[in-house]
Amino acid sequence: MKVTIDGHEIEVAPGTTILQAARMIGGEVVPPAMCYYSKLKGTGGKCRCCLVDVTKGSEADPRPMPKLMASCVTGCQDGMVVASKASERVKEARNAVTEFLLINHPLDCPVCDQAGECDLQNLSFEHGKLQQRFIEDKRTFEPEDIGDKIQLHMNRCIVCQRCVEVADQLTDGRVHGVLNRGDHSQISTCVSAAIDNEFSGNMIDVCPVGALTDKTFRFKSRVWFNKPFDAHRDCDKCCGKTTVWMFGNEIQRVTARKDEFHEVEEFICNTCRFDKKDVADWVIEGPRKFEKDSVINQNKYFGKTDKVVIDTEKGILQGRDIDRKKISMAEIDYNEKIDGNPVNSKKNG
């Protein structure tokens, strides 16, 4: 099947979604996704970040689809033409979703442990506005303790429900899910039970914001101060392939390996994640490369960058035109005195 997204044509297998096709093309056509997670079944369609404009349904039915479609759950048809970043409607919709997500999400990136790895941060970087129109009180939740390994900060949750899918699909004896409705929806455990399962730590990896963070790493470092390395160990519970985040010779954090879309390659167990923090536990393979342009990659670009030209003479030595206009040396009193002493006494010699 041939699909065209923002002018890029690609051949895909039946059953491929528009988002998957866009990811095959890569680059700017890839819609953002906060709830879709390719490694988890049944995710997608909820956050509405990935809405796209289907301008031609298929060769058989070329009519455009009247509404914007969630690309992560809409299958490709042969001859389908999709406008992603090229569509103004799509841009507006993504701006709208970003604004909606930020009305109740605290803008506490400077103290949030997810800063640098936050998908919402990236989304708002591209689609957010400088000014907020929401002046009402933000919705808040009481702090809740869900165990010794995972910190739940419900005020930051965007109810993408990826963690619920992890609980459904990876863990035994699920104890948490969504409570309440509407903007009162909250991720919580049944009667504040602790989450205690060998694969529960994957909730941290799938959380796109700082709602679920690693208690063994919180506030130890900012992610951009860490050096990530691919590492592995023999593990009888999981694949044992991870990324270890080091500060000097100390392993401060262990996560699953994530791809350019911030999705894990394989889920890992809690032993690897929380208990193995000694360098001797791991075989270090080499530095981890990241392709996504987020805060985490500051000073870590592997691509070629253009040479920056600084106009020294004009920009620095002469200063701005506007400033020059305001200051006239000729008008300054040469014999001006401060506390009885001439201002220019030194200069006068």
Residues near another protein (CB under 8 A): 44-49, 51, 67-68, 70, 73, 92-93, 96-97, 99-101, 103-104, 133-134, 136, 139, 158-159, 161, 177-178, 180-185
Compare residues 139 and 222 and give the one whose CB is closer to another protein: 139
Burial readout 108-140 (b: 16 or more C-beta within 10 A, e: otherwise): eeeebbbbbbbbbbbbbeebbeeeeeeeeeeee
Q: How far is the CB of 73 from another protein (least distance, A)?
A: 5
Compare residues 49 and 256 and give the one whose CB is closer to another protein: 49
Report how far residue 46's alpha carbon sits from residue 329's, in angstroms, rounded to the nearest whole number. 63
Q: Tokens representing 278?
A: 């000694």
Q: How far is the CB of 95 from another protein (least distance, A)?
A: 8
Report how far residue 133's alpha carbon sits from residue 1's, in angstroms, rounded to the nearest whole number. 44
Contact between 12 and 76 (Cβ < 8 Å): yes
Compare residues 93 and 296 and give the one whose CB is closer to another protein: 93
Contact between 228 and 243 (Cβ < 8 Å): yes
Compare residues 93 and 195 and give the one whose CB is closer to another protein: 93
Q: How far is the CB of 46 from another protein (least distance, A)?
A: 5
Contact between 56 and 79 (Cβ < 8 Å): yes
For residue 232, the cross-strand partners are: 241, 283
Report how far residue 41's alpha carbon sits from residue 115's, in angstroms, rounded to the nearest whole number. 27
Report how far residue 348's alpha carbon sits from residue 343's, in angstroms, rounded to the nearest whole number. 9
Q: How far is the CB of 125 from another protein (least distance, A)?
A: 18
Compare residues 119 and 214 and give the one whose CB is closer to another protein: 119
Q: In this structure, what are the phi and psi dihedrals at residue 283, rounded to the nearest 5 degrees?
A: -100, 110
Q: How far is the CB of 30 from another protein (least distance, A)?
A: 19
Compare residues 9 and 61 and give the one whose CB is closer to another protein: 61
Q: How far is the CB of 264 from another protein (least distance, A)?
A: 23
Report how far residue 161's alpha carbon sits from residue 30's, in angstroms, rounded to the nearest whole number. 21
SS3 of residue 113 by DSSP: coil
**What residue type is assigned to position 245 of the chain?**
W
Report how far residue 170's alpha carbon sits from residue 309's, in angstroms, rounded to the nearest whole number. 52
For residue 10, the cross-strand partners are: 3
| Dihedral sign, Cα of residue 202, residue 208, residue 212, residue 214 | positive
Compare residues 142 and 234 and give the one whose CB is closer to another protein: 142
Compare residues 94 and 276 and give the one whose CB is closer to another protein: 94
Q: How far is the CB of 45 from another protein (least distance, A)?
A: 4
Compare residues 73 and 246 and give the one whose CB is closer to another protein: 73
Contact between 114 and 213 (Cβ < 8 Å): yes
Q: How far is the CB of 311 from another protein (least distance, A)?
A: 41
Q: How far is the CB of 213 from another protein (least distance, A)?
A: 22
For residue 258, the cross-strand partners are: 264
